Structure 1
Amino acid sequence: MATRRFSLARDWEPTRRLPLKWGRYADRYISGLVLIIAGAMHLQGANNYTLIILLIGTTSTVVGWSIMPARGWRRMIVALPAVSQIWIMLTGPMSMWTLVIPLLCWLIVRHRPLVSYLALALPLANGIILPRFFQEYSSMPQALTISAVVLIAAAWVAQMIAQSAAKRR
């Protein structure tokens, strides 16, 4: 029964049905996700004295988005907004609301239906509430940890909404 449930969960995923010109779905998905997260972490650890880290983080993020299994135009339109958002995050916890941008990019690349974009409310609310508790850049690790949990939860909520919408069709 567990095997059947797993295969049903995979069947509704629109990106799994795409014909890939190179690589396997799981390899591209995992590699892309790792590069996106690693690039974001590199960029958050950068400053004026470590410009090479900015270059590595930016490159890693762009490559990560570009290899995700999705239609080509979807992968390309998200690279600039995603990298720009990570650079904006260097301003500190007051910019947590910008985490709406990578989630929006994720929903575009994962071919989620419009109804699943309701999940964008979670990182937006997070971005409004967190700056009330964390204002200084020294609080960025705590703010990022909380925001990462909210962002991952929002992605799962969007997936559940998309799955529910697919079942109704």
Structure 2
Amino acid sequence: MTSRASALPRRWEPARRLPLKWGNYNDRYFAGLVLIIAGAMHLQGANNYTLIILLIGTVSTAVGWSIMPARGWRRMIVILPTITQIWLMLTGPMSMWTLTIPFLCWLIVRHRPLIAYLALALPIANGVILPQFYQEYTSMPEALAISAVVIVAAAWLARLIAQSAAKRR
């Protein structure tokens, strides 16, 4: 018999309900997330003299998105926009607004309801505010650290909104 507490996550976390052809949900989620983040970090550490790092970061990001537990089309349509966005981040803190792209892709892959897209306000605000304080590429580590906190907070907010919407139904 399933308890109410264990049934709730399945009800409001649509990706968890999907039948997977291989692996299990937790392993694919964790591995995909690690590869996406590691790929983004590799790309941010690259330059014209370390092209292999660009390749490793690009491939890692693509593989990470492709193994996330989600419907196949959702996983595939986010790969090109997110890789493009990560490459755009090589221009420095002035491009923090582009972090709305992978966050939007995250919402798509996680099967979030449309109401959860309100959480996009956080990365958009981050992209407007941060360039006021960080403009040079030397400030990129600080800008990325702050942005990472904002993106994680936005992801949790989107999850809470999705949970609230599921409870109302």
- The answer for the alignment partner of 2:131 in structure 1 is 131
Write out per-residue CA displacement over residues 23-81 of structure 1, whole angstroms, 9 at most, x where no aligned residue. 11111000000000000000000000000000000000000000000000000000000
In structure 1, give the amino acid aligned to 2:77: I
Give the conservation status (yes or no) of the 8 Å contact 2:61–2:83: yes
Q: Displacement, 1:5?
A: 3.5
- The answer for the alignment partner of 1:21 in structure 2 is 21
- The answer for the alignment partner of 1:12 in structure 2 is 12
In structure 1, give the amino acid aligned to 2:143: A
- Determine the C-alpha separation between the residues in 2 that align with 1:92 and 1:69: 31
Q: SS of the residue aligned with 2:75?
A: helix
- Whether 1:101 and 2:92 are equivalent positions in the alignment is no
Q: What percentage of aligned pairs have identical amino acids? A: 80
Give the conservation status (yes or no) of the 8 Å contact 2:11–2:166: no
- The answer for the alignment partner of 1:43 in structure 2 is 43
Give the conservation status (yes or no) of the 8 Å contact 2:39–2:58: yes
- Determine the C-alpha separation between the residues in 2 that align with 1:115 and 1:40: 27
- Determine the C-alpha separation between the residues in 1 that align with 2:19 and 2:28: 13
- Determine the C-alpha separation between the residues in 2 that align with 1:47 and 1:167: 48
- Whether 1:113 and 2:110 are equivalent positions in the alignment is no
Q: SS of the residue aligned with 2:47?
A: coil
- Determine the C-alpha separation between the residues in 1 that align with 2:55 and 2:23: 26
Q: Displacement, 1:7?
A: 4.7
- Determine the C-alpha separation between the residues in 2 that align with 1:100 and 1:6: 32
Superposition RMSD in Å? 1.1
Q: SS of the residue aligned with 2:48?
A: coil
In structure 2, give the amino acid aligned to 1:34: V
Unaligned ranges ≥5, structure 2: none
Q: SS of the residue aligned with 1:69?
A: coil
Superposition TM-score, scaled by structure 1 size: 0.96
Q: Displacement, 1:122?
A: 0.3
Give the conservation status (yes or no) of the 8 Å contact 2:10–2:17: no
Q: Displacement, 1:8?
A: 2.2
- The answer for the alignment partner of 2:54 in structure 1 is 54
- Determine the C-alpha separation between the residues in 2 that align with 1:113 and 1:152: 18
Write out per-residue CA displacement over residues 110-153 of structure 1, whole angstroms, 9 at most, x where no aligned residue. 00000100100100000000000000000000000000000000
Q: Displacement, 1:6?
A: 5.2
- The answer for the alignment partner of 2:86 in structure 1 is 86
- Determine the C-alpha separation between the residues in 1 that align with 2:110 and 2:10: 13
- Determine the C-alpha separation between the residues in 1 that align with 2:145 and 2:4: 35
